[in-house]
């Protein structure tokens, strides 16, 4: 398992990849950290982008209180994730 700075770096990279349209690479990173609440939030947004609402809602439930309905725009939500990570 990654330590704090490594995890933060990877999740920031995943958010940037998702914003750039590289869903597969972002998803691969999020999958590595499925026990971390912020990684689950990233994972949830990725499945929202994909259009898989059921899978997205599953990851939101694991994300520590984030909700599917909180953001209509996945890009804005990814920016919020980056802000939460201190970027």
Domains of the chain: 4-84 (1.25.40)
Please, which pLDDT band fits residue 38 given cuts at 50, 70 and 90? very high
Q: How far is CA 67 from the centre of its chain?
A: 12
Is the pLDDT at 56 greater than 90? The verdict is yes
Please, which pLDDT band fits residue 4 given cuts at 50, 70 and 90? confident
Report the length, in residues, of the chain.
Answer: 87
Please, which pLDDT band fits residue 87 given cuts at 50, 70 and 90? confident
- CA separation for the pair 1, 68 (Å, rounded): 27
Average pLDDT over residues 34-46: 97
- What pLDDT, on the 0 to 100 scale, is given for residue 2? 59
């Amino acid at each position: 398992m990654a330590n704090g700075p490594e995890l933060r770096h990877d999740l920031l990279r995943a958010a940037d990849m998702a914003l750039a349209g590289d869903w597969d690479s972002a998803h691969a990173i999020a999958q590595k950290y499925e026990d971390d609440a912020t990684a689950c939030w990233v994972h949830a947004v990725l499945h929202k982008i994909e259009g898989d609402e059921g899978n997205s809602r599953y990851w939101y439930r694991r994300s520590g209180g984030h909700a599917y309905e909180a953001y209509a725009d996945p890009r804005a939500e990814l920016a919020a994730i980056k802000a939460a990570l201190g970027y």
